[in-house]
Amino acid sequence: MKVGILYSRIRKDEKLLLNELRERGHDVVKIDVRKLNFGLSETPEVLGELDVVVDRCLATSRSVYATQFCEAYGVPVVNSPDTAQTCADKVQNSLALEGAGVPTPETKVAFTKDAAMEAIESFGYPCVLKPVVGSWGRLMAKIECESAAEAILEHKATLGHYEHKVFYVQEYVDKPGRDIRVLATDGEPVAAMVRSSDHWLTNAAKGAETDEFELDDEAKELVEKASDAVGGGLLGVDLMETDDGYTVHEVNHTVEFKSLNDAVETDVPATVVDWLEVKAGAKQEQEVFA
Amino acid sequence: MAECVQCGADVTLHDNAEVGEIVDCTTCGAELELVDQNPPVLDRAPELEEDWGE
């Protein structure tokens, strides 16, 4: 197949994918989105004739728009722009999960400091304040007391980008020092790992220790539901364990998997490419029969 | 081998280095991006943005 990789930086994740695709003899076209401009109707030459485009943009904003253009040009793209849009924004992500009946931490959104303070007080301390866009655990605040809440809200309102004036307040989930990252293709788990840390943030990007995790039926079912809720695709589903079962706090759409690949027996890039081949094959069949 | 745009030192590249990959200059510590492969050309890597990564 002829596969395009949308990127702006080649991380180890992209290298793993590129190597796997090339080893299988696929025709790979690397597409640096920083060098493209997107017209409303005319497909950029580099995007034409591709069986599938894989969005691996490092920047969420680029991912959201570039995938929309691919779809507008009729170029098959994974993940879909709808999935990107939903996953890119924590508010939309939470609404999608809640709407699909996926257990997710209780969340409130407010647009002013006073309203955010009310939301924080309603949860009590500690609670969590997150940016609506962002990743790698950046700018996340575990708020332990009223004075800290006031200070953080003041900083965000004064110093932040307008998006930081959308206050996303969430209950603090007292997880057992770890959370679970599941990589899934259209809801089918590829592999899963726990990310453990003494810190309340257990992101791999924050240096959490990783270990393979065997999913039980409840977790598998939630991964499928969470994937469907955001439109499916190649996704990173993040779960936390609670006394009442799992809660899904986030679904990621340009998921990084290098840590997962190191932690598990499964050949992650190979399984992802298996899935891509099926996606591209299905598209070709549709075209033949159309 | 390529030249660091910040300090001019020689930077050794991995055999399978890709355009778009980030390498560090071991002399000055600058974060560099491989922008061309034949011959290898390095440029300063873009600054970290808030919406990067997952």
- How confident is the model over A177-186, as pLDDT tens digits? 999 999 999 9
DSSP state letter for A82: H
Q: Give yes or no for A85 touching B (CB within 8 A).
A: no
Of A9, A14, A134, the CB nearest to B50: A134
Question: What's the pLDDT at A282?
Answer: 67
B22–A15 C-beta distance less than 8 A: no
Contacts of A276 (CB under 8 A, 6+ apart): A1, A3, A21, A52, A54, A78
3-state DSSP assignment of residue A111: coil
**Which tens digit of pLDDT belongs to each residue from A56-73?**
999 999 999 999 999 999
List CB contacts (< 8 A) between B15 and chain A: none
Cα–Cα distance for residue pair A175/A192, rounded to 1 Å:
17
Which of A171, A143, A173 shows the shortest CA–CA distance to A155?
Answer: A143
**CA torsion angle A97 A101 A103 A107 (round to 10):** 60
A 10 A CB-CB count for A100 gives 15
Pairing of strands A141-143, A127-130: antiparallel
Q: Which residue in chain B is spatially nearest to A254 when comparing CA positions?
A: B54
Which two tokens mark A189?
């788990």
Question: What's the pLDDT at A67?
Answer: 98
Alpha-helical (H) ranges within A74-127 are: 81-88, 90-99, 113-123
List CB contacts (< 8 A) between A136 and chain B: 52-54
Which of A201, A20, A221 shows the shortest CA–CA distance to A102?
Answer: A221
**Which tens digit of pLDDT belongs to each residue from A25-55?**
999 999 999 999 999 999 999 999 899 999 9
Cα–Cα distance for residue pair A231/A29, rounded to 1 Å:
26
List CB contacts (< 8 A) between A88 and chain B: 51
User: Would you mind telling me the total number of residues written for chain A in this entry?
Assistant: 290
Question: Could you tell me the pTM of the whole model?
Answer: 0.93
Of A19, A30, A254, the CB nearest to B20: A30
pLDDT at A287 over 80: no
This complex has an ipTM of 0.88
E strands along chain A, which residues?
Answer: 2-7, 27-32, 52-55, 77-78, 107-110, 127-130, 141-143, 167-171, 178-185, 188-196, 209-212, 234-242, 245-252
Query: What is the distance in angstroms between the Cα of B40 and the nearest Cα belonging to chain A?
Result: 16
Sign of CA dihedral A30, A33, A34, A39: positive
